[in-house]
């Protein structure tokens, strides 16, 4: 009888184990981003940050294996983004989408995620209105309203009276222009001119002359990270705006991936942003160390942090809700955690990250240039969501 009971128990344990194994699955996450062309830095930073997160936290959640599948859309290309999403949803059977470096690429997938009821985690695209297009969007990056308003307030408190805004002519640029301008005027300042520049241009000499002629004491800039930000910031230095007494306040124009190439002329440039790779916290030091170990030539920037925290959010959504899209979105609302950038949470209404915004100044740190944080505005939401 003892042998019979032992045999039955062993059989039951084996059956349970097999049943548990059968319940586990591979959950696919489709990452839509730019991996080729002049803006390939976005996909590179996204992918490396995800790999750092997986290296630190493993590739399983509740016994399920998490698999990331990457699709290249070659830059701001809504048609390619929509096609990539269709392929990922239909052919690959992904349960989560992520990535989205450019606003048009995110907007293009809104009808698809509404139909499929699949969460889409935005690692960058920074126009406030995106999240209004689908209840399945959640953003772990930033919006231009979120960083431009603190930039305007800081500029006004530190002597700026007349500002010219210079932004890339697309939705995030217009958001930046509107947010900075309204906040600066509320502080008693004057916007003397609004310059909108072609998204793909890297020739900024004509715009620098307009800025010089505007009568402004400060220029506020926004351009998407990559060749454009580098070229604009370099043109500011090379065209003598600093010597002409025109100060600089920006957002991501001194991006970590190009800051060293700007050279000594970048020292002193001020930006308001949500992350610096020299942010002083143990979590950030651990993140930077692992990134350096896996990718020795890489340097973290805001795209890295959007993807790293995006991966964390996806893991938490899977942990709490599995592959049920509606439950996953509800689980994301109100989540909070300590990120390498500082404390963050997901606003239940906007489904956008609430975070600190840091005032940073370019300094030399040993053999490299860094964005040194020297002031902050705590727990800033997306200030443009309700507009």
pLDDT digit string, tens, across residues 342-361: 999 999 999 999 999 999 99
Whole-number pLDDT of residue 224: 85
Note whether 261 and 357 are within 8 A (CB). Answer: no
- Please check the confidence at residue 2 and state whether its pLDDT lies above 70: no
Q: How many whole angstroms separate alpha carbon 96 and alpha carbon 118?
A: 6
Half-sphere exposure of 225 (CA within 13 A, CB side): 27
Q: Scanning the structure block, which residue is given the tokens 């604009």? A: 232
Note whether 116 and 89 are within 8 A (CB). Answer: yes
Which of the listed ranges 14-18, 20-24, 266-270 does the model predict with the highest average pLDDT?
A: 266-270
Whole-number pLDDT of residue 35: 98
- Please check the confidence at residue 378 and state whether its pLDDT lies above 90: yes
Q: What DSSP letter does each residue of 283-327 carry, written as one string?
A: HHHHHHHHHHHH-TT----HHHHHHHHHHHHHHHHHHHHTT-HHH
Q: How confident is the model at residue 225 (pLDDT cuts 50, 70, 90)?
A: confident
Note whether 373 and 348 are within 8 A (CB). Answer: no
Q: How many whole angstroms separate alpha carbon 273 and alpha carbon 371?
A: 10
pLDDT tens-digit map of 305-353: 999 999 999 999 999 999 999 999 999 999 999 999 999 999 999 999 9
Whole-number pLDDT of residue 23: 66
- Which sign, positive or negative, has the C-alpha torsion 322, 326, 329, 334? negative
Integer angstrom CA distances of residue 161 from 72, 122, 179, 239: 44, 35, 17, 22
Estimate the share of the chain in helix, then strand, then coil, as percent rounded to the nearest 5: 45, 25, 30
Cα–chain center distance at 373 = 18
Whole-number pLDDT of residue 256: 95
Q: How many whole angstroms separate alpha carbon 10 and alpha carbon 27?
A: 31
Note whether 253 and 235 are within 8 A (CB). Answer: no
Across 366-378, average pLDDT: 96
Integer angstrom CA distances of residue 108 from 73, 83, 91, 103, 292: 12, 9, 19, 9, 34
* Both tokens assigned to 288: 């930077």
**Residue 122 phi, psi dihedral angles, 5° rounding:** -85, 115
- b/e map of 84-104 (b: 16 or more CB within 10 Å)? bbeebbeeeebbbbbbbbbbb
Integer angstrom CA distances of residue 309 from 38, 46, 194, 354: 25, 11, 34, 12
- Please check the confidence at residue 14 and state whether its pLDDT lies above 90: no
The span from the first CA to the last CA of the chain, in angstroms, equals 75
For the chain, which domains are there? 25-142+280-351 (3.40.50.2300), 145-273+358-380 (3.40.50.2300)
Q: How many whole angstroms separate alpha carbon 233 and alpha carbon 235?
A: 5
Note whether 264 and 21 are within 8 A (CB). Answer: no
- Please check the confidence at residue 20 and state whether its pLDDT lies above 60: no
- Please check the confidence at residue 21 and state whether its pLDDT lies above 60: no
Q: Scanning the structure block, which residue is given the tokens 């920006």? A: 250
Q: Find, among 210, 204, 216, the residue nearest to 248 by Cα.
A: 216
Q: Find, among 312, 311, 320, 315, the residue nearest to 60 by Cα.
A: 315
């Amino acid at each position: 009888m003892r042998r019979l009971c032992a045999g039955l128990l062993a059989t039951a344990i084996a059956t349970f184990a097999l049943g548990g194994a059968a319940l586990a699955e591979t959950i696919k996450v489709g990452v839509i981003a730019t991996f080729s062309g002049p803006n390939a830095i976005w996909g590179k930073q996204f992918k490396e940050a995800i790999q750092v997160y997986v290296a630190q936290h493993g590739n399983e959640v509740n016994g399920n294996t998490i698999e990331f599948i990457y699709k290249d859309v070659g830059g701001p290309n809504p048609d390619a983004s929509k096609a990539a999403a269709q392929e990922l949803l239909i052919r690959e059977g992904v349960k989560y989408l992520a990535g989205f470096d450019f606003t048009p690429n995110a907007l293009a997938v809104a009808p698809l995620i509404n139909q499929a009821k699949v969460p889409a985690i935005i690692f960058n695209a920074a126009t406030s209105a995106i999240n209004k297009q689908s209840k399945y969007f959640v953003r772990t990056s930033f919006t231009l309203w979120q960083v431009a308003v603190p930039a305007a307030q800081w500029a006004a408190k530190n002597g700026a009276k007349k500002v010219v805004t210079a932004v890339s002519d697309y939705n995030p640029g217009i958001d930046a222009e509107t947010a900075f301008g309204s906040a600066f005027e509320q502080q008693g300042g004057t916007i003397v001119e609004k310059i909108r520049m072609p998204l793909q241009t890297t020739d900024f000499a004509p715009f620098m002359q307009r800025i010089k002629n505007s009568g402004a004491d400060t220029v506020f800039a926004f351009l998407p990270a990559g060749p454009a930000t580098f070229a604009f910031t370099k043109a500011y230095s090379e065209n003598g705006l600093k010597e002409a007494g025109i100060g600089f306040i920006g957002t991501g124009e001194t991006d970590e991936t190009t800051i060293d190439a700007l050279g000594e002329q970048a020292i002193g440039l001020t930006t308001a942003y949500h992350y610096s790779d020299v942010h002083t916290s143990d979590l950030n030091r651990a993140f930077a160390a692992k990134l350096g170990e896996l990718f020795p030539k890489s340097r973290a920037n805001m795209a890295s942090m959007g993807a790293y925290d995006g991966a964390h959010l996806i893991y938490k959504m899977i942990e709490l809700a599995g592959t049920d899209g509606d439950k996953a979105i509800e689980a994301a609302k109100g989540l909070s955690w300590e990120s390498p950038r500082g404390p963050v949470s997901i606003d239940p209404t906007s489904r956008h990250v609430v975070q600190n915004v840091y005032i940073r100044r370019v300094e030399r740190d040993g053999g490299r240039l860094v964005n040194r944080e020297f002031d902050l505005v705590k727990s800033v939401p997306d200030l443009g969501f309700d507009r």
